[in-house]
Amino acid sequence: MLTLKRVLYWISAFAIVLVGGSFLLPSQAKVSRSIEIAAPPEQVFAIVGDLRRFNEFWPKADMEGTISYAFEGTESGLGQKLAWQSDNPEVGTGATTIVAYAPPGEVGFRTIAGRERWLSGFVLVPTTAGTSVTWTFATDLIGVPARWFGLLYEGRIGPEYEQGLEKLKAVAEKPASPQ
C-alpha cells in the first residue's frame, strides 16, 4: 500500500510540474534567421514576393518524392496563394497565402499545413553591400503539449530557414542570363 501511495505521489507531482511548467513557457514560438545578399532589395523582393518562385529557395522542394503545386487568387501581391501536395510525409499538404505585401521591404504569409498554422515573412533592408534579408516564423502555442513542443521549433525551423536563405542568396546573386 505504501508503494502505491508513493507511485501516486510521484505521478501527481509530475503532472503538476508538467501542467504548471507549461504556464511559464511562451504562448508563441518565434524563429528568425538573417543573411546578407549582394543584390538590391527590389531584386530579392521579386523572388520572395512571388509564390510562383517559392520552390527556388524552399528547402523542402529538394526532398524526395513528388510535389505538385497549384496557384490561386491574385497573380501577385495580397491574396496570391500557393497550395502544395506531396507524397513525402515530411512535406505533406498545405497552402500559403500572401497576407502582407509592401514592396520592396516586406512580405508576409499565412500557412496552413495539416493541423499546423503559422505566420512567416521576409523583411528586406537595404545595406551598402546589397540587402539584409530576415526570414521570420511565428505560431501560437495553444495547450500544454503545444507549449512544451514549442521548445523544439528553434531547432527544427532554424536550420531549414538557414538552408533556404542560402538558396535564396544563390538565386538572387546569380548573374542575369544574356538575352
Cβ atoms within 10 A of the Cβ of 11, count?
10
Percent of the chain with pLDDT over 70: 94
Q: What is the pLDDT of residues 113-149, one digit of tens each?
A: 988 999 999 999 999 999 999 999 999 998 888 888 8
154-166 pLDDT, tens digit each: 999 999 999 999 9
Closest CA to 37 of 131, 157, 163, 178: 131
Q: Which helix (H) or strand (E) holds 47?
A: helix 41-48
Q: Which residue has the higher pLDDT, 88 or 14?
A: 88
Cα end-to-end distance, the chain, whole Å: 85
Q: What would the pLDDT profile of 31-51 be if each residue is shown by its tens digit? A: 999 999 999 999 999 999 999
What's the whole-number mean pLDDT along residues 158-179? 89
Cell 506531396 appears where? 86
Counting every residue written for the chain, the total comes to 179
Distance CA 67, CA 86 (A): 4
- What residues contact 177, with CB distance under 8 A and at least 6 apart? none
Paired strand residues for 16? none
> In this predicted structure, what is the pLDDT of residue 45?
97
More confident residue, 91 or 15: 91
Q: Can you give the pLDDT at residue 96?
A: 96
pTM: 0.86
* 176 pLDDT above the threshold of 70: no
- Name the band, by pLDDT with cuts 50, 70 and 90, for residue 64: confident
Task: For residue 52, give the C-alpha cell.
Answer: 510562383
Asked if residue 57 lies in contact with residue 168, where contact means CB atoms within 8 angstroms, the answer is yes
pLDDT at residue 1, rounded to an integer: 66
